[in-house]
Amino acid sequence: MTMIETTYRDALRLALTETMRADENVIIMGEEVGRYGGAYGVTKGLIEEFGEDRVIDTPISEPAIIGSAVGAAMAGLRPVAELMYVDFIGMTMDQLANQAAKIRYMFGGQIGVPMVLRTQGGTGRSAGAQHSQSLEAYVMHTPGLRLAMPSTVEDAYHLLRQALMQPDPVVFIEHKGLYTMKGTLDTDAEPAAWGKARVMREGADLVIVSYSRQIHHALAAADTLASEDGIQAAVIDLRTLNPLDFDTIRPLVEQAGRAMVVSEGVMTSGVAAELAARITEECFDFLEDPVVRVAGEDIPISVSPLLEQNSVPTPELITEAVRMMLK
């Protein structure tokens, strides 16, 4: 057992380092990933160990970064293309959604695109409307793309390692508010399987389904509800949104009879909408209340810290929503 105290950021770097040591076909490409060490420091030091042929600083050319990763993946490399902010995904959407996602299918299964698009999103830095979004729904809406969003130090490591073993393109979205989060990592532990959700907290009164940073808000709300209201909320971390593990969700919701979905991305047509629809369809006979979405407001993110903080679910809002539901 190798237990280490580390951070989300360092755990990501460890996953990249170990994978690159084991497989020389793994390369990293993106803006500022080499000499600068990554805008959020994830790739710091990797260019020194692996050299400029494998850790490649690119011009500011997002469509070509993602598009060349697609070609590299088809030609035998396993690229990790870094998109500095998920907000730039729109610029790359053709390469991602029309190329990467469809190549296996259009070409009759001849070839896959085993690449990872690493990026980060979310609020918390007063970075404004074009640097604070949660755009996972764009990805989840595209058949052919896998989608992973780690919430813990353990998952930062294990999910990234697993993403680098997938036969199909994976979009891997980190949260900018989690990079400095500390945690214990056991690199030898058998990780939860790729595509499996994790029950972070048991609870018989309702089930909160979430992912990424909102897991921590949901857990904080669950603690408050337990101590102040005697309400026991289960919290499920989806970990990957595609594959989506409904088998973990179903029995807990059937037992509790109530479910809430929490996401930082905007409410309308978002991940929470998809999950609420599925829970409603699949668990209808067991539900005592409508499945409730607590999600980002249907607005852009302001630079004002006050407006920013209140544009996405807070632990207080989740707590209140549960109280409204169970009153």
Partner 1 sequence: MMNALNEAAVKNSNLADLYYQMRRVRTFEERVGELFVRGQSAGSMLHLSIGEESAAVGVCANMRDGDTFTTHHRGHGIFLARGADPARMMAEIAGKEAGYCHGKGGSMHIADMGLGHLGANAIVGGGIPAVVGAGLAARNRKTGGVSLAFFGDGATGQGILYESMNMAALWKLPVMFVCINNQYGMGTRIDQATANPRLHERAEAFGLAARTVDGLAVEDVADAAAELIAGARAGQPGFLVIDCYRFYGHARKDKSPYRDDIEEAEGRKKDPVLSARNKLISSGMMDESTLDRVDAEIATEMDATIDFSIAEKEPQLNSMFRDVYAPGEPEPEPVRARLERILARE
Ligand X SMILES: Cc1ncc(C[n+]2csc(CCOP(=O)(O)OP(=O)(O)O)c2C)c(N)n1
- Site residues (CB under 6 A) for ligand X? 31, 60, 62, 84, 88, 91
Q: What does the alpha-carbon distance between residue 268 and residue 296 come to, in Å, rounded to a whole number?
A: 9
Nearer to partner 1, 87 or 245 (CB): 87
- Among 309, 303, 302, 296, smallest CA distance to 137 is for 296
Q: Side by side, which strands form the sheet with 116-121?
A: 55-57, 26-30, 78-83, 116-121, 170-175, 146-148, 240-242
**Contact of residue 193 among ligand X, partner 1, none (CB under 5-8 Å per partner type):** none
- Among 150, 153, 141, smallest CA distance to 172 is for 150
Cβ atoms of 204 and 198 closer than 8 Å: no
**Contact of residue 292 among ligand X, partner 1, none (CB under 5-8 Å per partner type):** partner 1
116-121 and 78-83 strand pairing: parallel
Nearer to partner 1, 58 or 240 (CB): 58
| Alpha helix segments (H runs only) across 141-270 | 153-163, 214-224, 246-256
**Contact of residue 105 among partner 1, ligand X, none (CB under 5-8 Å per partner type):** none
Q: Which residues have a catalytic role annotated?
A: 131
**Contact of residue 173 among ligand X, partner 1, none (CB under 5-8 Å per partner type):** none
The DSSP bridge partners found for residue 4 are 185
Q: Work out how close the CB of 133 gets to ligand X at its nearest, in angstroms, rounded to a whole number.
A: 13
Q: Work out how close the CB of 62 gets to ligand X at its nearest, in angstroms, rounded to a whole number.
A: 6
Give residues in contact with partner 1 (CB under 8 A).
31-32, 35-36, 39, 57-61, 63-64, 87-88, 91, 125-131, 267, 289-290, 292, 294-295, 297-300, 302-307, 310-311, 313, 317, 320-321, 324-325, 327
Q: Work out how close the CB of 22 gets to partner 1 at its nearest, in angstroms, rounded to a whole number.
A: 28
| Alpha helix segments (H runs only) across 23-121 | 46-50, 62-74, 93, 103-106
Q: Work out how close the CB of 227 gets to ligand X at its nearest, in angstroms, rounded to a whole number.
A: 43
